């Protein structure tokens, strides 16, 4: 019976797979860190040189055309009396002169739109993106496609 008990003792597990897995994880982790840091993947530092500065190229191809300030009287039901609106147009550099020539027509379209919309829409703080998109679309119709890239609202004051 003593011999049977000795034969049934559990065998000791090998630690080889655990050590192999640990070494493999360290090697792969170190290799991934090096590849990222050296800029081989994910656009890390410039060749592993942390002192290298990435200087952007010159900003070309855009111009800004300022629009005159528009003051719109709001209705009696409004909490404010006037809206003061000032903006600039981001345009393609080659079209800046054409858009400047069309500024009176652009001001007319923006002024007409601001006077036509409901005062509750103007006073709603969440409506700014919608108002901006509507005005930009109208301006692009007046100036022609491809000339005006964006409408930058620099002043939108209710008083």
pLDDT of residue 8: 63
> Rounded to two decimals, what is the model's pTM?
0.63
Q: In this structure, are 78 and 136 located in the same domain? A: yes
- Token digits for 51? 């002192």
**Has residue 5 got a pLDDT over 70?**
no
Query: Radius of gyration over alpha carbons of the chain, in Å?
Result: 33
- Token digits for 151? 């409408």
pLDDT in tens, 61-104: 999 999 999 999 887 777 788 999 999 999 999 999 999 999 99
Which domain covers residue 32, as residue numbers? 15-55
3-state secondary structure at position 105: helix
**Has residue 25 got a pLDDT over 90?**
yes
pLDDT of residue 46: 52
Q: In this structure, are 104 and 124 located in the same domain? A: yes
Asked if the structure places residue 8 within a domain, the reply is: no
Q: In this structure, are 140 and 83 located in the same domain? A: yes
Phi-psi region of 144 (alpha: psi -120 to 50; beta: other; left: phi over 0): left
Domain count along the chain: 2
For range 99-112, the mean pLDDT: 96
Asked if the structure places residue 132 within a domain, the reply is: yes
């Amino acid at each position: 019976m003593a011999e049977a008990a000795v034969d049934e003792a559990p065998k000791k597990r090998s630690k080889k797979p655990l050590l192999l897995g640990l070494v493999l994880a360290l090697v792969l982790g170190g290799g991934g860190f090096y590849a990222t840091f050296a800029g081989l993947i994910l656009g890390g530092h410039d060749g592993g040189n942390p002192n290298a500065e990435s200087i952007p190229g010159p900003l070309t191809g855009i111009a800004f055309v300022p629009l005159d300030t528009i003051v719109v009287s709001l209705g009696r039901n409004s909490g404010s009396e006037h809206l003061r609106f000032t903006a600039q147009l981001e345009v393609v550099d080659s079209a800046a002169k054409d858009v400047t020539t069309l500024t009176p027509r652009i001001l007319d379209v923006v002024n007409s739109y601001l006077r036509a919309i409901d005062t509750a829409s103007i006073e709603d703080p969440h409506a700014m993106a919608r108002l901006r998109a509507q005005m930009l679309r109208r301006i692009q119709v007046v100036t022609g496609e491809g000339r005006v890239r964006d409408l930058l609202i620099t002043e939108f004051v209710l008083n």
